[in-house]
Amino acid sequence: MKRLIKQIAIVNLIAAIVVMVLSQYVPAFKTTGLSDFLFYIVIVVWAIAGLTWDGGRESRTWNDDPAAKQSSSMVSDHDFKSDQQTQIHHNYQFGLMMFIAGLPALVSCIILRWFV
């Protein structure tokens, strides 16, 4: 849990720096208030999560390629299923961590917008 909180803090800090730099050069990222700044942090964090997210079985087509099937059958001593499961597990962990990292900024943005 401590590691997750540390990762969330680092992700949000990096996203805040990215938003600050983008606000200097990109007119769309100019912020007028703290809630706008927090909203842009959510956009940056969740955009990275969306770009790195592996869509599941529907998006994987390497098993359909005849050359890939032939080359994987030639390497009989390597466990490809285990590697794929490890990749899926790590991808799920990273995507979930990035989603959770965007939640504090989103909740803060909503609180600032509607209750303050």
User: Does any domain span residue 35?
Assistant: yes
pLDDT of residue 46: 94
Count of domains for the chain: 1
pLDDT of residue 76: 64
In 3-state terms, what secondary structure has residue 91?
helix
User: Does any domain span residue 49?
Assistant: yes
User: Does any domain span residue 36?
Assistant: yes
User: Does any domain span residue 101?
Assistant: yes
User: Does any domain span residue 65?
Assistant: no
φ/ψ (deg, to 5) at 34 = -65, -35
∠ CA 81-96-56, rounded to 5°: 40
pLDDT of residue 91: 75
0.85 surpassed by pTM = no
Residue 38, burial from CB neighbour count under 10 angstroms (0-12, 13-18, 19+): buried
- Residue-averaged pLDDT of the chain: 83
- Rounded distance between C-alpha atoms, residue 19 and residue 38, angstroms: 9
User: Does any domain span residue 39?
Assistant: yes
- Rounded distance between C-alpha atoms, residue 8 and residue 97, angstroms: 7
User: Range of 13's domain?
Assistant: 2-56+79-115
User: Does any domain span residue 110?
Assistant: yes
Q: Which residues of the chain have a pLDDT value below 70?
A: 54-65, 68-69, 72-80
